[in-house]
Structure 1
Amino acid sequence: MKKRFRIKKERDFQLVFKKGKSYANRQFVVYLADHPKTDHMRLGISVSKRLGNAVKRNKIKRRIRVFFQHHQDRLKPREYVVIARQPVSSMDYHQMEKSLLHVLKIAKCIK
């Protein structure tokens, strides 16, 4: 993802956590916050060390990024922070995609 689509700084994560709203299911927690200065979405991903070693965590993050790249045109321009929970470590991409779509539909951020 390009730099303008990423949330990397701790300060930006904390801002989304404080001012945003959270939606969750068993696999993911998604925090959403409006960002008045941008007209595109921004994404931050958090995967705990409890989900596995670095290889496993990076695989989960790559799959989440791919999901947001594929569905970028359907998502409203907001800031998204995705936190992966334990069941994600044993899921394949299609199961993760279904679960993320479910959470985003609950959040009403799909156009």
Structure 2
Amino acid sequence: MKKEQRIKKNSEFSAVFTHGKSFANRQFVLYVLPKEGQTQFRVGLSVSKRVGHAVCRNRIKRLIRAAFQELGLRLRFNYDYVVIARKPSSNLNFLETKSSLCHVMKKANVIQ
């Protein structure tokens, strides 16, 4: 995933949280905010210390980024996404992570 596709600033996270809509399942919470004139989607990740230790949190973030890369062509491009990982996501492998994210994205109607 390219650096232009990541949300890093606290103000950008806050904008998605306050103005976006949220959708959730057991493993993930997805916040979605439409952005006019944006040519590619952007993703922000949040994994709390309650989910696990640093190695576990970094693994979850890698799996989410990889899932977004695979689903990239099916996603709507003019959106900002923020994914919050919940505790059950620490036990998932890549396919389970991808299917769980697909489930939440279908709920949000951002995947084709």
Which deviations, in whole Å up to 9, do the C-alpha atoms of 1:62-100 show, x marking residues without a partner?
Answer: 000000001100000110000000100111111111111
TM-score (norm: length of structure 2): 0.96
Return structure 1 stretches of 4+ with deviation > 6 angstroms.
none
Matches within 5 A, 1:5-84: 5-77=5-77, 78-84=79-85
Name stretches of at least 5 consecutive residues in structure 2 with no aligned partner.
none
SS at match of 1:45: strand
Counterpart AA for 2:89 = V
- Percent identity, aligned pairs only, is 50
Q: Using the alignment, how far apart are the partners of 2:28 and 2:45 within structure 1?
A: 11
Equivalent residue, structure 1, for 2:97: 96
Equivalent residue, structure 2, for 1:108: 109
Q: Using the alignment, how far apart are the partners of 1:2 and 1:94 within structure 2?
A: 22
SS at match of 1:67: helix
SS at match of 1:89: helix
Q: What's the CA shift for 1:37?
A: 3.3
Q: Using the alignment, how far apart are the partners of 2:107 and 2:19 within structure 1?
A: 18
SS at match of 2:50: helix
Of 34-43 and 6-15, deviating more is 34-43
Q: How many residues align?
A: 111
RMSD between aligned residues:
0.8
Name stretches of at least 5 consecutive residues in structure 1 with no aligned partner.
none
Q: Using the alignment, how far apart are the partners of 2:95 and 2:3 within structure 1?
A: 26
TM-score (norm: length of structure 1): 0.97
